[in-house]
Structure 1
Amino acid sequence: MRVEIKPFSGLNLQELYAVLRLRSEIFVVEQQCIYLDMDGKDTQALHVLGWKGSELCGYCRVFRPGDYFKEASIGRVAVPSQFRGNGYGAQLMEFTIQAIEKEIGDCPIAISAQAYLQRFYEELGFKPEGELYKEDGIPHIRMVLTAQ
């Protein structure tokens, strides 16, 4: 997997289309959740794209501290169904964590994790904080990776 990180203004039209299609495919269609994915925050985010050849096989977005949570944060983590089970999600997250350390500095990283993925994020070092809550009708848990 080839991974790159870009600001919103650095995405070309084909990349932006691939990102929005993937997010819609997973978070709206697959999870049967009707919500507005384009929340107006993409222009503030750094976008992490994982490629297998010309296919987008992983994606997430990153926010600096204070732009979404008080900590740096990662969200919209997505791997298409045909690429799952190959370790791309973990590779994408490891790259993203390292990119945050390089671009932003050694700081805590917060996520709003879907509850069924709690173990996946724990294996990456994230710790749950607080109770489960519903976000767009889906159980989530706040998790934080403390600065090393």
Structure 2
Amino acid sequence: MLEPVVKSFYELSHEEIFMMFKARVDVFVVEQECAYPEIDDIDRDLNTRHLLFLEHGCLKAYARCYPKSENTASIGRVLITPDGRGAGMGYTLMNAALACCHQQFPQMNVQIAAQSYLQPFYGKLGFEPISDVYLEDGIEHLDMQLKQGN
């Protein structure tokens, strides 16, 4: 089983930064056809942690964990690369991201902006909807939350 590399932006190597940004652009901007500023200030925030699942030097999965507010952490930019899909990486990635949030932000609830078709997946991890479905970059999303202690 792959183990994540968990680092702040400033701990990432040049190669890890390149792989992270390339995968995010490939999946979110190109594959999902969402033209938006993919790189943001959350990436380099000192409290943000980047989780990279690497196999033989290739990125297979990625997510980032960061404080969204005083009481809420967030997991975002969750992706499995095309060559990493179909191997059950989704639960592995999300469980690692949740462990990271609980370690970095132990008293905080965890909130995500989930694509609506993934609601059952996130529900199995304990997330509950806290919003109606809305459009973000042309894709249906809903906010979901995992309360601290779950």
- TM-score of the superposition, structure 2-length normalised? 0.91
For the 8 Å contact 1:2–1:52, the answer to whether it is kept is no
Q: 1:52 aligns with which of 41, 51, 55?
A: 55
Q: Which runs of 5+ in 2 are unaligned?
A: none
SS at match of 1:111: strand
Which residues of 2 match residues 16-31 of structure 1 at below 5 A? Answer: 16-31=17-32
Looking at structure 1, the residues matched to 68 and 16 of structure 2 have their Cα atoms a distance apart, in angstroms, of 25
Give the Å deviation of 1:106.
3.8
Query: Which residue is 1:143 aligned to?
Result: 144
CA RMSD in angstroms, aligned pairs only:
1.3
Displacement over 3 Å in runs of 4+? none
Alpha-carbon displacement from aligned partner over 1:67-94 (angstroms, at most 9, x marks no partner): 7xx5100000010122112111210110
Q: Which runs of 5+ in 1 are unaligned?
A: none
SS at match of 1:130: coil
Q: How many residues align?
A: 146
Alpha-carbon displacement from aligned partner over 1:20-62 (angstroms, at most 9, x marks no partner): 0000010011111111101222111211111122111110111
| Letter paired with 1:111 | I
SS at match of 2:61: strand
Query: Which residue is 2:10 aligned to?
Result: 9
